[in-house]
Structure 1
Amino acid sequence: MLFDLDGTLIDSVEDLARAANDMRADRGLGPLPLARYRPYGGSGARGMLNQALDVAPGQSGYDELKREFLDRYEALMYDCTRPFEGVEAELAGLTAAGLPWGIVTNKAERFALPLTKALRLAALVVVGGDTTGHAKPHPAPLLEAARRLTVPPAACLYVGDDERDVVAGRAAGMSTAVAAWGYLGPHAEHGRWGADIGLVAPGGS
C-alpha cells in the first residue's frame, strides 16, 4: 500500500502558510488567513507562492522566490505539522498485519526524509519528487516504490488527495483511492478523477 504525504498522511499546510506569510511580511504585506492557503497545501511552493505573491512557474523571478520559500519552510517545517487524526493508528494496523506500505510524495527528499523520520512514520520506503527524476503525475515514483517494496504494481493501492495522484496511480497500473480528509484542491471534482475507491478515511469510515 502506498500513500501520498502532504494532505494524505500529514497536515503540513500551517507550516507552509507560515513560510509564505513570512515572505509577505518581508515585503510589507499583511498575512493571509490559513483558510486561503489550505486548498493549495498539496501544491507545495507553487501553490503557496501563487496565493501569497501571485506568482507562478515560468514567470520572472519565480525560481528565486521558490528557493527563498523552500529555505524558509525548511527552518520551520517541524513546528506545526502532524499526522491527520486516525492516520497513525491506521498505519500501525498495516504494520501489525505485516502489510508493506510506503510513501510517494512530490516533496523533495531534502524535506520528505527528515520529516517522515521526525514524525515517526515508519514507512518501508519513501520516494520523493526528486528520487527518480520525475514527479507525479508521472508514474515513475510509484513504480520505484513498488520495486523497493518488491510488490507488483497491480497489487498496490495508492491513496492521495489530488487528481495527479489518481493519474499517476492509474498510469503505474495500481488501484487508487482519494483521501477524504485531504486538501483536495480548489473546486475539486474528485468524483471525476477516476479513482477505483473514491473517498476513504482512516479506519474505512
Structure 2
Amino acid sequence: MRALALLMVIGVAACSPAPEATPAAPEPMSIPAAKALPSFDFRGLKPDTTTMADAVAAETVTRCSDSGSCEFTKYGIGDVGTGRSMVIFKDGKFDWFSVKMSPRSFEAVGRTLSSVYGAPCREDSRQLQNAFGATFSGDEVEWCFAEGHLILRRHSENDVTEGELDFFTYREPAPAKDYNSGNL
C-alpha cells in the first residue's frame, strides 16, 4: 500500500505541469533628463541671493523703502527706453520686479532679451478688449529659469496703454504657524 501511495505521489508530481518561471521585472523606462533651466540674472540681481544692500551698492536700484521696494537706477532695456519700475526684496533678498514700457517697444525688448537669454520657453497671443470695444493684441513671451520666469507683455494686465516686463520667483511664502479663518 505504501508503495502504491508513493507511486501515486510520484506519478502526480511527474504529470503536473512545471511551475511557470516568475517573469523578470521589466526594465525601467528610460526617461530623458529634462534640460536643466538656466539661472536668472538681470543686472546682477539673482533671486534669493542678491541683497538689497548689495543692489544699492552696485547702483542697480535706488529709492529703496524700509518695506523692501526699490526702483531700477537705469530706465531702459538694451537701447529701448522704459518707464517706471519696481524691484521687490523679500526677507532682504531679491524676489521680483516689474518694468513698464510702451507697447511699441515689445519687439525690440523681446529681441534684446532673446539675445541674452535665448529662445523663449513660451509665446502666446490673445485678443484683449477694453470697455469701449477696442481690441488689442495680447502678445506675451516667457523665458523660464531655474528660480522663476520672465514675462514680456505687449499690453500690461492692468493697462492696455503700457507694456510690461515682469520677473517672478517660484518661491512660496512661508506657511502660517497658526491657522484661522483669515489665512486658510
Structure-2-length-normalised TM-score:
0.24
Structure of greater relative contact order (alpha carbons < 8 Å, 6+ residues apart):
1
**More helix per residue: 1 or 2?**
1
**More strand per residue: 1 or 2?**
2
Structure-1-length-normalised TM-score:
0.22
